[in-house]
Amino acid sequence: MEFNAFQIAEILNGEVVGNGQTSVFQLAKIEEGKKGALSFLSNPKYEEYIYETKSSVCIVNNDFVPVKNIPDTLTLIKVDDAYACFAKLLAFYQQMKQKSPEIEKQSFVHESVELPEDIYLGAFSYISKGVKIGKNAQIYPNVFVGENVQIQDNCILYPHVSIYADCVIGNRCILHSGVIIGADGFGFAPNSKGEYEKIPQIGNVILEDDVEIGANSTIDRATLGSTIIRKGVKIDNLCQIAHNVEVGEHTVMAAFVGIAGSAKIGKKVMIGGQVGIAGHLKIADETKIVAQSGIPGSVKKAETLMGSPAIPMEDYKKSYFGFRKLPYILKKIQEFDQYLKEKNKKQENG
């Protein structure tokens, strides 16, 4: 779909500088721009590209003043915040690409389920008994939805998502390909023979509103009660959330994070990639955890943690500086030890 510069400026409440009839039909980074592309410039270190880009339209900040001639083929749209406005256009573009309402052939819907009129349901999806689905749902091909699952309004389930029985998905949640919600928690108990017997996992998972979960991440059902992901949480690809965990509102975590059972993560916590968090602990609101850190115990106040086991980041940096000096220190100790031996030997020999 094509838009001209005037139409885009109207959406963004911006000012056109150049030919307002210039049309665009694709989005591109400014350094990779082509004819018919819309780009943006917000970071000054990329300014050099605006003087040679082949994009047709570029969104810039109101205070942008060219220091050289820009291409004659380039139209500018000046706005208060170029980055935010481009993000707004990306969201608008994504919304335009949403699937139209349709129930594709070869999908299965149990007779007890009443689907909303505006649903998109892809081929080979399976909707089980007792499922409730809200309006404007997009359920892509090969999705499994177990018995009595509740899915609220405006959710997107990409291909190969599996939601086990009794789980609850809030409004505007996005589950990317391969996400599994409600698989059994890792619950086993040793018997008198030292063999492990499975503990039934009869709870569920609750995702509150505006949760997004990256591809191939898993959230286990609770042993009893619920594993809860609070509103606004964003989880990257390949993360593991164990049974009975609670993740607080607007917490974010990068790829390969693993959280063990019954851990309680606070609000607005930031967790870097490959972080491991032990079970049955609490992490304070607004804590920041650096990538590859290990958290073995509760964090009682907000701070930035680093290392395994994690300690305050500034302490870690000082410790690491000392660690890097260890070879030098060991060498000096060995030299001093050798010096003492030689000195004692001389004294013994008179």
- Residues annotated as catalytic (active site), given as ranges: 243
3-state secondary structure of 36: coil
Q: Which one, of 217, 212, 211, lies nearest residue 240 by Cα?
A: 217
Integer Cα distance of 242 and 262 in angstroms:
7
| Adjacent-strand bridge partners of 246 | 228, 264
Integer Cα distance of 149 and 286 in angstroms:
32
- Fill in the amino acid letter for 24: V
For residue 103, the surrounding DSSP H or E stretch is strand 102-103
**C-alpha separations of 30 from 2, 34, 53, 175 in Å:** 19, 9, 6, 30
3-state secondary structure of 88: helix
| Adjacent-strand bridge partners of 207 | 169, 229
Cα atoms found within 13 Å of the Cα of residue 248, Cβ hemisphere only: 15
